[in-house]
Amino acid sequence: MIRFRLRVAIRASRKPLLFNAKMEEKKSLGTQIRDARKAKGYKNVAQLAVKLNISVNTLSGLESGRKKSTSLTILQLIGKELGIKFEI
């Protein structure tokens, strides 16, 4: 299981940034989801969306940063499948 200890910050652009305490890098939520998806072997967004039974547009929007918010339930589904533990 990949474990991220995250702290959320909002910039002037209103795009949330996540700080990985171990790597001390700034990564957007979408970038972290995309990296974990690829690491788990999902070649594209559609494969993961079908597995989770969520909209491809929702997942794609989260990864690209176009979708600024989503439900906690969807984040939990994504985190469980990709082995990401979100601590906010």
Domain containing residue 38: CATH number: 1.10.260.40
pLDDT at 29 (0 to 100): 84
User: Which residue range forms the structural domain that includes residue 9?
Assistant: 2-85
Query: Is residue 78's pLDDT more than 80?
Result: yes
- H-type alpha helices, the chain: 29-39, 45-52, 56-64, 72-82
| Overall number of domains in the chain | 1
The pLDDT assigned to 13 comes to: 42
Q: Which among 34, 28, 76, 42 is positioned nearest to 59, based on CA atoms? A: 34
Mean pLDDT of the chain: 77
**pLDDT for 16-43, tens place per residue?**
444 444 444 567 888 989 999 999 999 9
CA distance 11 to 59: 22
